[in-house]
Amino acid sequence: MKANETLDAKGLACPMPIVKTKKAITGLEAGNVLEVLATDQGSKADIQAWAENAGHQYLGTVEDGEVLKHYLRKGKDDEDQEEKKHDQTISNEELQNKLSEDVTVLDVREPAEYSFGHIPGAINIPLGELDERLSELNSDQDVYVVCRTGSRSDLASLKLAKQGHNAYNVIPGMKEWSGETKQEQ
């Protein structure tokens, strides 16, 4: 696929591929295509969700060995919209205080990230699988969504809210989580 510009985000972990993509797409003319080269498996869902949220068109991803080649078309000026942020947030400390209650904690990181340390009892549904696995969540219960930095969980919280869930984005996420964690073997 032909792109107007290529961004090398190989070796970077969330949220850096998105941060660099935001900066690179700003310099493009409306309608131009940006190719983002990444090695973070979570970037497929992250970039797709971010593009939709920011008013750009996600064209697709091509896997070339270990490299994911993501293609985005910059939205036209009349398509541009301000990037949405989920308005219901909760701090790590506030979530720690709620863990003694019957709450749903949804961890939207990739399985490898989850297995090396997660909140005990958290359900792991990677962001890229959320649409297909929504039925696994109780729609009558608040959902506290966590990722590594609060970026993927923000996108997931927006998706959940659109589907009628009362979702809270946990900020700043697992990167600064000081509560109990569990590891998978």
Nearest to 14 by CA among 141, 166, 173: 173
DSSP, residue by residue, 61-128: EEEETTEEEEEEEPPPTTT--PPP--S-EEEHHHHHHHTTSS-EEEE-S-HHHHHTSB-TT-EE--GG
- Give catalytic status of residue 14 as yes or no: yes
Distance CA(169)–CA(86), nearest Å, equals 7
From the candidates 3, 7, 9, 14, give the one annotated as an active-site residue.
14
Integer Rg of the chain from CA: 17
Nearest to 3 by CA among 78, 63, 61: 61
3 state DSSP class of 18:
helix
Cis peptide bond upstream of 15, omega within 30: yes
List the catalytic residues: 14
